[in-house]
Amino acid sequence: MAKRSETEKSEKIKRWEPPETFSLGGRTWRVIIKDLEDSHGMTLSEEERNTVGLCRNYEQEIVIVRNSNPNIFMMTFYHELAHAIMYTLGRSKLNRDEGFIDALASMIVQFELSKKE
Ligand SMILES: [Zn+2]
C-alpha cells in the first residue's frame, strides 16, 4: 500500500511541469525555465548560473533551471513560489527566512502530491 503510493508520487513528480503563468494577489507572474545543458551556461547570467532558482519580485518572474533530478526541479519551483507568496503578502522578514520558505514549499508539495483529483 505504502509502496504503491510512493510509485504514484514519483510518477507525478516525473510528469510535473511548472505553470507558464499564475496569479497572486491580482498580479500575474511568469515562470521562465532555463536549460543548463542546451545553453552551456552561455545565455545565463552569473546570478542564474550559481543558483537553481530565482524569484524576481519586481518583474514578477520565477526563473528555474531545469534539473535532471525531477525532485529538485519541482522543489525549486515551489521554493520560489513560497518566496513569491511571502513577497505578495508583504512578509519580508519571513521571506528572508530560508528555513521557513523551505518548510512552506514542502507543505505545498505535500498538498500537490497527495490530492486526489
Ligand atoms: Zn530561497
Tell me the per-residue pLDDT of 81-106, one tens digit each, with 9 for 90 and over: 999 999 999 999 999 999 999 999 99
| Cα 34 to ligand 1 centroid, rounded to whole Å | 17
The whole-angstrom distance between residue 97's C-alpha and the CA centroid of its chain comes to 16
| Cα 37 to ligand 1 centroid, rounded to whole Å | 23
| Cα 39 to ligand 1 centroid, rounded to whole Å | 24
Tell me the per-residue pLDDT of 34-82, one tens digit each, with 9 for 90 and over: 887 655 555 666 665 667 899 999 999 999 998 778 999 999 999 999 9
| Cα 6 to ligand 1 centroid, rounded to whole Å | 27
| Cα 1 to ligand 1 centroid, rounded to whole Å | 34
Output the DSSP codes for 22-84.
Answer: EEETTEEEEEEEEEHHHHTTSSS-HHHHT-SEEEETTTTEEEEEE-SSHHHHHHHHHHHHHHH
Domains, the chain, in order of start with CATH, read 16-114 (1.10.10)
